[in-house]
Amino acid sequence: MATIKNKILVTEDDPGIITFLKTTLSAEGYDVITAANGKSALSVISSHCPDCILLDLGLPDMDGSDIIASVRAWTQTPIVVISARSMEQDKAAALDAGADDYITKPFGAVELLARIRTALRHTYTRTERDEIGLRGHYRVGAMEIDYKRYRVTVNGQDIRLTPNEFRIVALLGRNAGRVMTYKAILRELWGPAASMDNKILRVHMASIRRKMEPNPNEPRYIFTEVGVGYRMAEDESRG
């Protein structure tokens, strides 16, 4: 029986990068389709239903953020942004618009393939949110979030988070492997009218890391995407 290949859409207008991506992805067994502008990309997405979208933000006919918003209006197909825009506000804007990940050019093949595998894992396995609904907990390494008992343990010991600290960790656990922007966390936990001041999150996170991490300066469980947000480690054994 023939193996069904995951279909990757590369939306990019640089011929050199298109060639690199097609060669790299094809060698890994992916079925690669391409689009050189936003209009073509939207047409291909609706007609070919790719499993993952690699998207350059700086397209000749429209901004990539507009494409993200358009795609997110009707599908949750994972979107990995590949862009020369390295400013923190550009990354945050793309992620807030609905992108699943963001890679800054230039990037290596190893990093790109790892990001794609993570994006596809969220699509083709039960999501952490679904698993939590069935099992009531999330575990990575020695850390476990018990959603039913509202507690987090490390090596079996309750680390005694405050209610707000637990809410932050619980939210990151439900989205493990994905970057959550400061804005998204604040909006999700405290509502759309919440202040967008990141200071409250930084204070909570410093306390969480003191309780959770063996060495807060070298975190194992919650990573900072500087100027953008936070990401909970994903247990690779689930992939």
Q: Domains of the chain: which residue ranges?
A: 7-124, 128-238
Specify the fold of 7-124: Rossmann fold (3.40.50)
Q: What is the pLDDT of residue 239?
A: 43
Question: Which CATH number fits the domain 128-238, given the four candidates 1.10.275.10, 1.20.120.1200, 1.10.10.10, 3.30.565.10?
Answer: 1.10.10.10
Beta strands in the chain, from DSSP E residues, in sequence order: 7-11, 31-35, 52-55, 79-83, 101-104, 137-140, 143-146, 151-154, 157-158, 179-181, 222-225, 229-232
**What are the average pLDDT values for consecutive 10-residue runs of the chain, which has 239 residues?**
76 94 95 94 89 93 90 87 85 87 89 87 55 70 90 94 90 86 83 71 92 93 90 68
11 beta partners: 35, 55
Let me know: does 184 contact 191? Beta carbons within 8 Å. Answer: no
**Threshold 0.75, pTM exceeds:** no
